[in-house]
Amino acid sequence: MQVPARIDNWIDGSSRPARSGSVMDVVDPATGARVCSMAAAGAADVADAQAAAARAFVAWGARPAAERAELLDRLADLVERNLERLATLESIDSGKPLALARSVDIPRAASNLRFFAEAVRAWQPDEEYRTAHAHSRVIRRPAGVAGCISPWNLPLYLFTWKIAPALAAGCTVVAKPSEETPMTAAALGELSAEAGFPAGVLNVVHGRGPECGAAVVAHPSIPVITFTGGTETGARIMQTAGPMFKRVALELGGKNPTIVFEDADFEAALSGAVRAGFQNQGQICLCGSRVLVQRGIYERFRDAFVERVRALRVGDPLEAGTEQGSLVSQAHQTKVSAAVERARAEGGRVLCGGRAPDAAALPERVRGGAYWLPTVIDGLPMGCATNQEEIFGPVVTIQPFDDDREAVALANQSTFGLAANVWTGSHARGMAVAERLEFGIVWINAWLLRDLRVPFGGVKRSGVGREGGDEALRFFTEPKSVTWPA
């Protein structure tokens, strides 16, 4: 396979090792084998990337939106043309099933680029206001160099979700993908040159969060920071960026409810709850990890749910038919394992999974992988740590509720507020429940159904700001109000 021998930073239109010469290993979590090395960038590399981005900003920010859009479309074409290669790299890097990377991650990366190309073509950023006394015009200009920091769970998908609106709006970018999954972002840097992006418009720096990521946040001339990742990291970013008065958007963790009412289409709710709980091994911020089921159907639903989850095919991510791949790393598997031990200690009953698969049950190639069997646990109160803390793995709790009021109260009993999914035969009931749910996103009879124009993001400890559509384009621009007498 076309795994690069080494991954370097992409700065000012070319590949460069870290100035310090530091490297780190890139590991395939499904096998435990090292696949290549990558640059471990630090503040000096970030400074180089920022300088290149600042130079490129002069022309890029002034370029007509239609020309920027044209380049984003060309990059989307190249992502599509390289779909198989990128999907394979994504699978090797993250442990996710190749089929998922091929059908979701990479196509969505292309559609992110296309979506923001189209959005900026249609965007009318300037506004006009008149009173009897004053005439005002609000002009919006790109904010400068944007720092885009992304996580490992949906690597190219979330990387492009950040850089596409930044580039469309006229910012130049210093992007920092997760050190767990650098490969597709590195490939995209190179593809951007092939698409015709001028040097310095998109820069990609690789390395550890506390060194490379922190240097992006701390750089005094990167005024805009968009981050997707863990809540604790988000808090650290705020501590640095706050006193520097940077504009910050944070998409953070979740502990999302799946709410199933008795009047729901049973089969649709069942397959929806399984997908919401376990897609990408439960490593999606939007995953429904707290399943709440109305009491009248609780036992029937729980039993059917467990049966479906037990039947999920855990295996080699590269093999067709694998539904559950490896977790992202051995370290993450250790965390998931500790979370399940804690659930047991809290009195939870493990209904399926609850352990790593037997090595003999896995294909030989992946016996050294960071696997965890999809796990369902019941018997836990909502206030316990298992139900309050994000596990970010294939671990779901299930519990009953009596009525709409209790469903909403249980769902809202969380310090997170990212996404809820509600299953009911009554749209009016779904809307009434949605009104009372303290979440930034609510799906009714769906999960991960996206219209990229609608605001995306969470409340409480799930973050600040919204991505998507015009919200994102506004985020990367600075308004200036100009007023004169009428």
Residue 45 as a binder of ligand NAD (CB under 6 A): the answer is no
Compare residues 36 and 328 and give the one whose CB is closer to ligand NAD.
Answer: 328
Residue 253 as a binder of ligand NAD (CB under 6 A): the answer is yes
* DSSP one-letter code for 185: H
Residue 254 as a binder of ligand NAD (CB under 6 A): the answer is yes
Compare residues 226 and 294 and give the one whose CB is closer to ligand NAD.
Answer: 226
Residue number of the CB atom closest to ligand NAD:
209
Tokens for 234, please give them. Answer: 């988000």
Only one of the segments 34-42, 68-76, 176-184, 305-313 lies at the binding site for ligand NAD (rule: CB under 6 A); that segment is 176-184
Compare residues 392 and 423 and give the one whose CB is closer to ligand NAD.
Answer: 392
SS3 letters for 192-253?
Answer: HHHHCCCCCCEEECCCCHHHHHHHHHHCCCCCEEEEECCHHHHHHHHHHHCCCCCEEEEECC
Residue 87 as a binder of ligand NAD (CB under 6 A): the answer is no
- In whole angstroms, give the CA distance from residue 188 to residue 116: 16
Residue 26 as a binder of ligand NAD (CB under 6 A): the answer is no
- In whole angstroms, give the CA distance from residue 373 to residue 387: 19
Compare residues 254 and 374 and give the one whose CB is closer to ligand NAD.
Answer: 254
Residue 472 as a binder of ligand NAD (CB under 6 A): the answer is no
Compare residues 71 and 158 and give the one whose CB is closer to ligand NAD.
Answer: 158
Compare residues 50 and 424 and give the one whose CB is closer to ligand NAD.
Answer: 50
80 is catalytic: no
Compare residues 73 and 251 and give the one whose CB is closer to ligand NAD.
Answer: 251
Residue 463 as a binder of ligand NAD (CB under 6 A): the answer is yes
Only one of the segments 94-102, 227-235, 343-351, 401-409 lies at the binding site for ligand NAD (rule: CB under 6 A); that segment is 227-235
Compare residues 246 and 302 and give the one whose CB is closer to ligand NAD.
Answer: 246
Residue 357 as a binder of ligand NAD (CB under 6 A): the answer is no
Amino acid type, 411 = A
- In whole angstroms, give the CA distance from residue 245 to residue 443: 34
For residue 115, the minimal CB distance to ligand NAD (Å) is 16
For residue 314, the minimal CB distance to ligand NAD (Å) is 21
Contact letters (x/-) for ligand NAD, 366-405, by CB under 6 A? ------------------------x-x-------------
End-to-end distance of the chain based on CA atoms, in angstroms?
67
Among 57, 116, 123, 152, binds ligand NAD (CB under 6 A): 152
**Residue keyed to tokens 């707290």:** 290
**Residue keyed to tokens 């590949």:** 15
Contact status, residue 48 vs residue 88, Cβ threshold 8 Å = no
How many CA within 13 A on the CB side of residue 241?
Answer: 24
In sequence order, what are the beta bridge partners of 290? 257, 397
Q: Give the chain's length.
A: 486
Specify the 3-state DSSP secondary structure of 145. Answer: strand
Tokens for 369, please give them. Answer: 């992988």
In sequence order, what are the beta bridge partners of 176? 149
Residue 236 as a binder of ligand NAD (CB under 6 A): the answer is yes
Find the angle CA(202)-CA(205)-CA(211) to the nearest 5 degrees. 145
Out of 36, 171, 212, 285, the active site residue is 285
Only one of the segments 19-27, 151-159, 193-201, 306-314 lies at the binding site for ligand NAD (rule: CB under 6 A); that segment is 151-159
The closest alpha carbon to 196, from 291, 313, 76, 85, belongs to: 76
Specify the 3-state DSSP secondary structure of 438. Answer: coil
Contacts with ligand NAD by CB under 6 A: the residue count is 30
* DSSP one-letter code for 104: I
Rg (CA), the chain: 23
The closest alpha carbon to 16, from 29, 4, 28, 7, belongs to: 7
For residue 223, the minimal CB distance to ligand NAD (Å) is 16
Q: Which of residues 49-78 bind ligand NAD (CB under 6 A)?
A: none
Out of 90, 179, 180, 251, the active site residue is 251
Only one of the segments 249-257, 263-271, 312-320, 376-384 lies at the binding site for ligand NAD (rule: CB under 6 A); that segment is 249-257
Only one of the segments 186-194, 210-218, 273-281, 393-401 lies at the binding site for ligand NAD (rule: CB under 6 A); that segment is 210-218
The closest alpha carbon to 398, from 269, 266, 262, 305, belongs to: 305
Tokens for 231, please give them. Answer: 């809540």
251 is catalytic: yes
Residue 214 as a binder of ligand NAD (CB under 6 A): the answer is yes
- In whole angstroms, give the CA distance from residue 56 to residue 202: 9
- In whole angstroms, give the CA distance from residue 225 to residue 114: 22
Only one of the segments 18-26, 187-195, 230-238, 427-435 lies at the binding site for ligand NAD (rule: CB under 6 A); that segment is 230-238
- In whole angstroms, give the CA distance from residue 397 to residue 108: 29
Give the active site residues: 251, 285
Please report, as ranges, the residues that interact with ligand NAD according to CB under 6 A. 149-153, 158, 176, 178-179, 209-210, 213-214, 217, 228-230, 233, 236-237, 251-254, 285, 390, 392, 418, 458, 463
